[in-house]
Amino acid sequence: MAELGHEVVGVDVDPIKIANLSAGRAPFFEPGLGEMLTKANASGRLRFSTAMADVADSTVHFIAVGTPQKHGGNAADLSYVNAALDGLIPFLKEGDLVVGKSTVPVGTAADLAAKLAASATGATLAWNPEFLREGFAVQDTISPDRLVYGVQEGPKGLQAKAILDNVYAVALSNETPLVVSDYATAELVKVAANAFLATKISFINAMAEIAEATGADVTKLADAIGHDNRIGRRFLNAGVGFGGGCLPKDIRAFTARAEELGLGESVAFLKEVDSINLRRRQRAVAMATESLGGSVNGRRIAVLGLAFKPNSDDVRDSPALDVAVQLKGLGGDVICHDPEAMANARSKHPQLSFADSAADAVTGADAIIVVTEWDEYKQLDPAAVGEIAQGSLVIDGRNCLDMAAWREAGWEYRSMGRPDHDR
Ligand code: UDX
């Protein structure tokens, strides 16, 4: 927002995060964010605070806190959203706009709007879901592929739209599509989009299961169906499946909310989407076990990748980290590497061992398993790796390596949903 020319104050309850941000240090790895933060801090348009009172001069108040999966259940934990609104209310004034960005179960915005109305501050609420992807967060924020405003009916809704149009003036001037709706639609757009993406990935992973049993090649299948414009090739990459802080918890929260509404049947398929997704991690572990003669116990396995996707240090619900933990749990001598996510992985799973480089990880390994498709791993030279590894088994959990090159260099190359041998 500061990059776009607005005067911004960022508030968080975590003093360490605020100190780091104030010093120009981004709290996580995201390409381009560090540079943009430094620039924005220097511009004088961006500052950070732990004191909610510092919002008093602002007119637009974004709530962008997390809505993680509740402990012991599938529903979303709304305590942070509620706490943020409760904290804001004493500092709101007539004409202010509170804008929800967090991903919430449908019906939440109406409840928050009622709370806001009861506070008699004169402020109104809009719901403006966020669609950014990790790894592309800066680009997606500055140039989003669409904007959605959920507003109330009547003059207050029009006023909210005018304020948001001003906030997003740059994107709108570049003809970014805008959908203005009621609160429920805006809330649903976000979960529906993520549910669709998750379904697309699980669909192709289900095809990978069928391909594995029939000798078909899921990548060629994806290419072929992807040429149909109605289907499209994107998000049809089979592998160890989806993870991260959004897709897994969003489909579970959506199912939980639908069940609360007595509409469980409408999204019952999302449970299947979740199960297919989790089965692919088991499949990668089973493939390693089977290829190493029935047990990974005591075998040295290099796990390349820990982040849930490349260009991120996020290990939340990461299939890659899960595969590493499972192989370790089965007695494997597991050595992990990731260009960015090792610190996060270590703090969650200190029992794992970490190598300083991919080369160190593969040295002496009986098997290599690639579970996050970082460029660095795609560019590995199979002949050079063959000289330092002990064994010759490589499992490509993301179908991202050059299959022909690895096989030519003498590797037993196995991947997800593709034949184990060249035709
Ligand atoms: C997702 C949505 O894309 C974004 O719009 C929303 O705002 C937040 O959630 P993100 O979590 O950053 O973004 O990751 P995304 O790029 O969607 O990938 C999610 C997972 O799916 C990753 O683990 C990725 O490896 C996996 N994936 C993606 C596949 O397994 N196959 C694919 O073809 C695509």
pLDDT for res 40: 97
pLDDT above 80: residue 279: yes
pLDDT above 60: residue 423: no
Determine the distance separating the centroid of ligand 1 and the alpha carbon of 374, expressed in angstroms.
14
What's the pLDDT tens digit per position in 380-420? 999 999 999 999 999 999 999 999 999 999 999 999 999 99
Atom number of ligand 1 nearest to Cα 247: 9
Does 312 contact ligand 1 (Cβ within 6 A)? no
Does 308 contact ligand 1 (Cβ within 6 A)? yes
pLDDT for res 421: 79
pLDDT for res 392: 97
User: Using CA positions, which residue lies closest to atom 30 of ligand 1?
Assistant: 241
pLDDT band at 162 (very low <50, low <70, confident <90, very high): very high
pLDDT above 80: residue 319: yes
What's the pLDDT tens digit per position in 286-309? 999 999 999 999 999 999 999 999
Atom number of ligand 1 nearest to Cα 193: 5
| Nearest Cα to Cα of residue 181 among 194, 196, 164, 197 | 164
Atom number of ligand 1 nearest to Cα 373: 25
pLDDT above 70: residue 422: no
Q: Is 333 left (phi over 0), alpha (psi -120 to 50) or beta?
A: beta
Task: Give the residue-averaged pLDDT of 35-52.
Answer: 97
Does 371 contact ligand 1 (Cβ within 6 A)? no
pLDDT for res 61: 98
What's the pLDDT tens digit per position in 25-42? 999 999 999 999 999 999
Task: Give the residue-averaged pLDDT of 225-236.
Answer: 98
246 catalytic residue (yes or no): yes
What's the pLDDT tens digit per position in 55-87? 999 999 999 999 999 999 999 999 999 999 999
Determine the distance separating the centroid of ligand 1 and the alpha carbon of 314, expressed in angstroms.
12
